[in-house]
């Protein structure tokens, strides 16, 4: 049974009672991410996520860690472009303890000056580690160029320069404005009593807490196809080919998911079977959509050797053209429906997945969309709808390129790209 409330504190609470399990998952979604930062504060949301674990007025960082491990629980967090999430899983008998720790972290983090400076060093190393991973870096390069000059394009981690320039007072002020109940969605799934959980949550969220503050949210820039290369000493060259996508509010998202699965979203997909299995051009090749509140992207990624680049572009261009011209066949759509259905229903066996689904559903759509309704929408997708969407989105002249690799290889990649996209 699923219960939803808007609390007096203006926070949203959604609770799913699952009486046949022994565990509970809790997630607090805060509606702030890298999108809501100006240039000087790039990486602030992610920095705050780190600082939540560094201690509160009641608990040190060690005590937070030891308290959670002492109940056999798991505690973690992540930052995205449009939200931050702190989440945990524990036995049902320890939910009260878990909630006390989490809400203490959310509202009472101390941001001690010494910890603040130490964490700068930690995050700088995290940025360096990320930039040393070319198959991750190439995606950030693509995003930066796709949304050039917009906060959506900036790295979630920030940059070395922005992080090192952070001042405690500015970050703490950002935290105090963002981490308020009116900006939060609390999602809980597991062996719980919903009304008791509601009472407990309300004891932490007072109606007199500050209202949600406004953050920057400027209009998405117009798309202009681009080529962006980054020189890095690597064995392979990492390539992203992509273009703008749709928002998660777009009703065509179900059609998009089926199209993606058929094109490059799994091991049975056309790109995987052709590029890897038949031709051996790559170990890693996949496509994926990214959907946000008012924008999105659709990207195909490949990591391959320099000697295989020319053949890859030829094959890729032919596969996209074939996909648009000939379309999908009913069997592909039916197989994909079954794949999505199985993945969704098997995922429902995890309390963490169920909690995450609840929180994101409220975050994105303001309501919990029943599983049956989602499946109904999936099964309403026809081959004709997929073909129409593919022709609209996979417009070959509009594909952009980002690539990371050795300097001498990059020129060759760019030239091969231009043979097909003039």
Annotated catalytic residues are 49
Q: How far is CA 239 from CA 122, 130, 291, 396, 405, in A?
A: 29, 17, 21, 16, 9
State the Cα–Cα distance between residues 39 and 162, nearest whole angstrom: 8
Q: Read off the DSSP letter of residue 278.
A: I
- At residue 45's C-alpha, the angle toward residues 362 and 158, to 5°, is 130
Beta bridge partners of 30: 84, 184
Q: How many CA atoms lie within 13 A of 80 on its CB side?
A: 14
d(CA 105, CA 54): 9
Taking phi over 0 as left and psi of -120 to 50 as alpha, with beta for the rest, 7 belongs to beta
Select from 222, 244, 224 the least CA-distant residue to 299: 244
Burial readout 107-134 (b: 16 or more C-beta within 10 A, e: otherwise):
bebbbbeebbeebbeebbeebeeebeeb
CB 238 within 8 A of CB 301: yes
Residue 313 Cα distances to 172, 262, 265, 316, 327, angstroms: 48, 19, 19, 5, 20
For residue 24, the cross-strand partners are 90, 190
Scanning the structure block, which residue is given the tokens 């998952």?
25
């Amino acid at each position: 049974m699923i219960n939803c409330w808007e609390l007096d504190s203006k926070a949203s609470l959604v609770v799913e009672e699952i009486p046949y399990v022994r565990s509970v998952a809790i997630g607090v979604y805060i509606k702030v991410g890298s999108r809501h930062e100006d240039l000087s504060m790039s990486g602030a949301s992610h920095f705050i996520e780190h600082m939540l674990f560094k201690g509160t007025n009641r608990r040190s960082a060690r005590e937070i860690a030891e308290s959670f491990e002492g109940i056999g629980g798991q505690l973690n967090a992540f930052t995205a472009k449009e939200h931050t999430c702190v989440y945990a899983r524990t036995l049902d008998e320890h939910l009260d303890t878990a909630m006390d720790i989490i809400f203490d972290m959310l509202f009472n983090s101390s941001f001690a000056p010494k910890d603040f400076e130490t964490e700068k060093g930690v995050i700088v190393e995290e940025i360096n580690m990320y930039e040393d991973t070319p198959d991750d870096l190439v995606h950030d390069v693509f995003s930066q160029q796709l949304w050039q000059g917009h906060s959506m394009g900036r790295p979630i981690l920030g940059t070395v320069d922005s992080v090192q320039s952070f001042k405690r007072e500015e970050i703490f002020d950002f935290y105090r404005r963002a981490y308020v109940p009116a900006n939060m969605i609390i999602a809980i799934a597991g062996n719980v009593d919903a009304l008791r959980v509601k009472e407990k949550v309300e004891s932490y969220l007072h109606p007199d807490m500050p209202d949600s503050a406004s953050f920057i949210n400027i209009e998405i820039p117009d798309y202009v196809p681009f080529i962006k290369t980054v020189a890095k000493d690597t064995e392979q060259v990492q390539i992203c080919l992509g273009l703008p996508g749709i928002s998660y509010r777009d009703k065509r998202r179900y059609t998009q998911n089926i199209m993606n699965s058929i094109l490059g979203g799994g091991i049975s997909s056309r790109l995987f079977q052709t590029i890897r299995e038949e031709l051996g051009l790559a170990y890693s090749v996949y496509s994926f959509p990214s959907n946000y509140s008012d924008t999105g992207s659709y990207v195909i990624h490949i990591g391959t050797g320099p000697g295989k680049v020319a053949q890859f572009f030829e094959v890729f261009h032919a596969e996209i053209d074939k996909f648009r011209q000939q379309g999908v066949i009913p069997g592909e759509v039916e197989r994909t429906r079954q794949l999505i259905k199985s993945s969704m229903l098997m995922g429902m066996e995890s309390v963490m997945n169920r909690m995450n689904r609840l929180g994101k559903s409220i975050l994105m759509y303001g309501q919990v969309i029943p599983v049956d309704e989602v499946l109904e929408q999936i099964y309403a997708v026809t081959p004709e709808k997929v073909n129409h969407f593919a022709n609209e989105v996979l417009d070959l002249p509009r594909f952009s390129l980002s690539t990371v690799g050795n300097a001498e290889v990059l020129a060759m990649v760019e030239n091969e790209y231009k043979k097909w996209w003039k």
